[in-house]
Amino acid sequence: MYDMGTRQRALALLRGGAKNAAVARTLNIPTGTVSAWKHADRAWRGECPGRVHRPLCSRCDGRELDAAAYAYLLGLYLGDGHISHPRQHRVPSLRITLDDAWPGVQQEAMTAVRTVFPDNTASWARKTGCRDVKVYSKHLTCLFPQHGPGKKHERAIALEAWQREIVDAHPWPFARGLIHSDGSRIVNWTEKAVGGRTKRYEYPRYFFTNTSDDITRLYTDTLERVGVSWRSRRRVTGAQDVSVARREDVALMDTHIGPKH
């Protein structure tokens, strides 16, 4: 074992261009020890041969972030996602639970996760009637600062300034993520007698249901930003239903969101 001072003197000589053997002779230590110190120092500084330092997080080290994919993923997370960090795991994991009735939505979610976390392996966790899109990353709480103890509707949910900028720039992907998690497009219908004949009239509309007032407000604020009118009612359970029913508003949402698939 060698003290820290000896190791620091060796690294100073190595960084100055001295050869391993020369440093070993100067400090009277084995050449293998000098080589190990040099390798560890170069790895710490990202200078190992064949290795290139790559930024891994847009919040920590300025990595470029696909803002549209992130806005969509943020909507999914606020609706059906959660972050957990069991003590037996080194890093936290993000899970977004999606119904098997909508395989297209599941695939869009997987694509968004892989786009936002290109250096991490995303996988499926199968459950009865649904699948989780799952990814591990130590930067999950950097990108989803809304994470916290307890259920989302039992704590305050607010976007940070940088998230607000992304949602303002990409409101439709954000709304699409919320609809794909906690929303739906349905078709109501009625029949009327016209000229002695019974005609069927259909009325498509969008619904979004969430128990968190804060998340619901993020959704309705986004609708107003893109010029969509809405109405809401509160269920006896405490959840809010937000309805978009006007023909021109439904047509606009069909253009940017459409039915689940």
pLDDT tens-digit profile of 103-161? 999 999 999 999 999 988 899 998 899 999 999 999 999 999 999 988 999 999 999 99
Cβ atoms 69, 173 nearer than 8 A: yes
Closest CA to 157 of 178, 137, 179, 135: 178
Percent of the chain with pLDDT over 90: 63
Q: Is 14 helix (H, G, I), strand (E, B) or coil?
A: helix
pLDDT digits (tens, 9 = 90+) for 73-104: 999 999 999 999 888 888 899 999 999 999 99
Phi-psi region of 139 (alpha: psi -120 to 50; beta: other; left: phi over 0): alpha
Phi and psi for 108 in degrees, rounded to 5?
-60, -40
pTM: 0.77
Token pair listed for 9: 């003197």
* Long-range contacts formed by 169-172: CB under 8 A, 24+ apart: 169/67, 169/71, 170/67, 170/68, 170/71, 170/72, 171/71, 171/222, 171/225, 171/226, 172/226, 172/256, 172/257
Q: What is the C-alpha to C-alpha distance for residues 172 and 258, in angstroms, rounded to an integer?
A: 11
Token pair listed for 221: 């604020």
Average pLDDT over residues 3-18: 84
Question: Looking at this protein, which amino acid is placed at residue 157?
Answer: I
Angle at 245 between CA 75 and CA 187, to 5 degrees: 90
Q: Output the pLDDT for position 46.
A: 62
